[in-house]
Copies of this chain bind each other. A is one copy, B any other.
Amino acid sequence: MATKIIIRNTDYAVRALCYMAAREREEKGGIITVTELVKELGMPRPFLRKILQKLNAAKLLISRKGKGGGFRLARQADKIFITQVMEIFQGPFKLNDCMFKRKICPNRKACFMRKKLEAIEEFAAAQLKGVTIKEILNGH
């Protein structure tokens, strides 16, 4: 049972965004329907819709209703950061705080474990900070 930094919603969202970014390079400005995404990405349709709607609400996508409608990226792939996607589906990135929340904490101010967890959190945040959809797509 691994500690999850990326949860499945985020995973799906990133995959959808990557696909849309890749497609956009081919046909400029193309709008993409849920139907196409479902076929290409092989994930459950109603679930994907909910995810896309959230991305839309967060202004990472632009949606168009009605016949001929669908979704397209609201900005270029190198301006979409994975931390934004994570925040949408997982809330602010945070490792757990001091383990000793109740009374018996022996040394609250200088708790050793808290220092360690803070260091890990800081490192993780730094690692993820600059990553964009474009980088994921290109592999660097």
Contact = CB atoms under 8 A, between A and B. Distances in A.
A42 B138 CA distance: 53
A19 to B, nearest CB: 7
B128 A116 contact: yes
Nearest to A102: B42
Contacts of A82: 113
Interface in A100-114: 100, 102-104, 106-107, 110-113
Interface stretch (A27-35, A63-71, A118-126): A118-126
Interface of A: 1-6, 10-11, 14-15, 18-19, 22, 40-43, 82, 90-91, 93-97, 99-100, 102-104, 106-107, 110-113, 116-117, 119-120, 123-124, 127-128, 131, 135-140
Contacts of A104: 15, 18-19, 40-42
A139 B112 contact: yes
A11 B106 contact: no
Contacts of A3: 3-5, 90, 93-96
